[in-house]
Amino acid sequence: MDIEIHGKLAGLLQASGGAVAGEDGRLLGIISEGDLIYRSEIGTQRPHPYWFVQHAGAEILAAEYVKARARTVADVMTRKVITATPETELNEIATMLEDNRIKRIPIVEAGQIVGIVSRANLIQAVASAPREAESAQSDTAIRTKLLSHLSEQHWAHTSCLNIIVHDAVAELWGTVSSDAERRAIRVAAESMPGVRAVNDHLLTQPGDTAPKVVERDITVR
């Protein structure tokens, strides 16, 4: 891995980063914009106060020196790489990106790198995903499905809610313990197949003092 940072790497970083593979196609590491932020040639070496230099240790300082002055990809790339396989579910990849605070994950199969998934790819997938087909449903069916869905959520206090559905419009009544719960209930209603509009009448009442709403099986006004 004697590819110089200047030249061939410039095109790679236009995409904000990428995987580094050997001649046999095996993954060797990954390089990103973060690996090249602190560089001596542009005067952006990481500055440290005197006390940090005294206590950081020679190993840390030496590693930063390499990052700032190395000429080849092998010296600046990250070698401990989190990977996934072609069979990994997208929700698992999203969790890996979030938990490890990284922007991309190489996809490896039989030791060979076959692709890479980035945060941008997930956003594109969300944007291009077809909307769930919405078949005609009765107001009662919509309400039943929405309440069933909310009852499965640990954050939702369905005993404090009264939901009315009329002409595919969901009317949200009752009390919630936080603004976050209120938004989540609204989002749940908006994303429920068959719902064409949502009217939020919920009241936020923090704490456990929210009175319970007597459940009424009403679907029309």
Same domain assignment for residues 122 and 151: no
Percent of the chain predicted with pLDDT > 90:
39
Same domain assignment for residues 118 and 172: no
Residue 134 has what pLDDT?
56
Query: Phi and psi at residue 89, in whole multiples of 5°?
Result: -65, 145
Helix (H, G, I), strand (E, B) or coil at 28: strand
| Nearest CA among 76, 98, 87 for reference residue 30 | 76
Among 95, 128, 161, residue at a domain's last position:
128
Under a CB-based contact definition with an 8 Å cutoff, are residues 197 and 175 in contact? no
Q: How many domains does the chain have?
A: 2
| pLDDT band at residue 175 under the 50/70/90 scheme | very high
Domain of 40, in residue numbers:
8-128
Residue 129 has what pLDDT?
67
